[in-house]
Structure 1
């Protein structure tokens, strides 16, 4: 437990791999060192007493502890790279790139107080290592779409998750995209709308 930081989501599978038995986990819960948010899913309480994890911690747990290929996508990736000047009027909707929403654990999909937007890149024949970057969010590192992939995800979501007007506003600020990276993504794309 000392290897985790306050606010971190800790999964039973990770605890078991680190030789922490379920009986010891129960003692950690009783003593307040861990708080159970779902079966086999715990959060290390923050000094503020906050028990619900920040979405970054949940995303990191799925990515690093379960080794599922998820990433911060679309508008969320652009926003946290400082490339979105669009004011979010409601609570932040977090775009999560994944192969299939159903492949993600139920506790993650139904995380309390979280407004997820699951984006599946089924129209992209493959993603490459260079399509992703690591960015800092809430003093944590998280895997995210590079600006070019995030822009592709936004265009591919027009009419489904984002309006044309919102996308057009975003693109006014995306003047430094790499033409080479964009071409690489388009070469792997089967999305007619995005390719246009």
Structure 2
């Protein structure tokens, strides 16, 4: 068992059973000093250091959950969220593609970061959308690729400050793959997110936008208030920050 475990990760009863270790035997290992509890029904090797990435690896591999690192958090792990701190007290966004509950040992433990978990059905056929991985301390964690992370970031915009932050981060997304952007625009269920994504791409003048066909995207009808006190973008029918020359009037 000790040879097969991945250092820096949590051990669940499911994994332990696969190694021939019953719950009673696991408790004996705790008593003997080989294992220590992480929470109810979860363990780690005594003296091991497990961070939130190691815990997420366990959720994904041992429990088979769809949860993944998403939005701004995924962009930061990929080196694209230059304006987001991931140090102590940082906020980490985890997204599940459907209704999914995280175990109590995970949600009840302090991981050195604020963990935000959302169950979001943002895309049709989300199970067919690929994720990417980030290597960390000898194991991998599944995260959203930059294109999907950008949509998830915009989905979380809930006020002017969050809008401005997302717009700043979006400015650094000049290398998105237009084929993936097109696929996600067509699969995205949120009219608000699709319109705002296209507005940010246009406002940042990203070159990949010219390879995206908005006519194949259902942008709905009617106006959407996205930015309080802003002005209406007449093409995409969303409120956005006023242009500087208008704000100075």
> Normalised by the size of structure 1, how large is the TM-score?
0.87
CA RMSD of aligned residues (A): 2.1
Q: Point out the more displaced range, 59-68 or 116-125.
A: 116-125
Secondary structure at the aligned position of 1:193 is classed as helix
* SS class of match (1:3): coil
The equivalences for 1:45-194 within 5 A come to: 45-46=46-47, 50=49, 53-88=50-85, 91-100=89-98, 103-113=101-111, 114-159=113-158, 163-194=162-193
Q: 1:180 to 1:149 in 2, by over 3 A?
A: same
In 2, Cα distance between equivalents of 1:77 and 1:135:
9
TM-score by length of 2: 0.70
Where relative contact order (Cα < 8 A, 6+ residues apart) is larger, the structure is 1
Q: Could you tell which deviates more after superposition, 106-115 or 75-84?
A: 106-115
Unmatched tracts of structure 1, length 5 or more: none
Q: Rg larger in 1 or in 2? A: 2
Q: Distance in 1 between matches of 2:61 and 2:88?
A: 29
Deviation at 1:140, TM superposition (A): 2.6
Which residue of structure 2 lines up, in the alignment, with residue 37 of structure 1?
38
Alpha-carbon distance in structure 2 between the residues aligned to 1:102 and 1:184 = 25
Q: Do the aligned partners of residues 101 and 115 (structure 1) sit closer, same or farther apart at CA in structure 2, a change above 3 Å counting?
A: farther
Q: Structure 2 unaligned runs (5+)?
A: 196-249
CA contact (8 A) 2:100 2:119 kept: no
Aligned residues between the structures: 191
Distance 1:45 1:129, change over 3 A: farther
